[in-house]
Amino acid sequence: MTDENQPTSPIDPLTIGELISLAEAAQLSGLTQDYLKKIAQSGRLRAKKIGRNWVTTKMSVEVYKNTRSHILKDV
């Protein structure tokens, strides 16, 4: 039984969509692969390391870019 008053968990972007390499994410986003790796390591981009490679999803990159654009608009 679920409690209707409990907040719902936010959707984890890494569980939606196909995992892509940071190289592919860089091509899609216009950001560099090194920058994506840096923000993945800092936790600002939802990504995970598989072996020695970092992977993310298109949705995670879009979420990051949307968050970033809101910050830039507020400045």
Q: Indicate the length of the chain as a whole number.
A: 75
Structural domains in the chain, sorted by start: 16-74 (1.10.1660)
Please list, in sequence order, all residues whose beta carbon lies within 8 angstroms of the beta carbon of residue 48, skipping any fewer than 6 positions away.
14, 54, 55, 56
Contact 47, 38 (CB under 8 A): no
End-to-end Cα, the chain, rounded Å = 45
User: Which pair of structure tokens corresponds to residue 23?
Assistant: 């190289």
Give the whole-angstrom CA distance, residue 55 versus residue 73. 28
In the predicted structure, residue 75 carries a pLDDT above the cut 60: no
Give the whole-angstrom CA distance, residue 36 versus residue 41. 9
Interval 20-66: pLDDT, tens? 999 999 999 999 999 999 999 999 999 999 999 999 999 999 999 99
pTM reported for the whole predicted model: 0.72
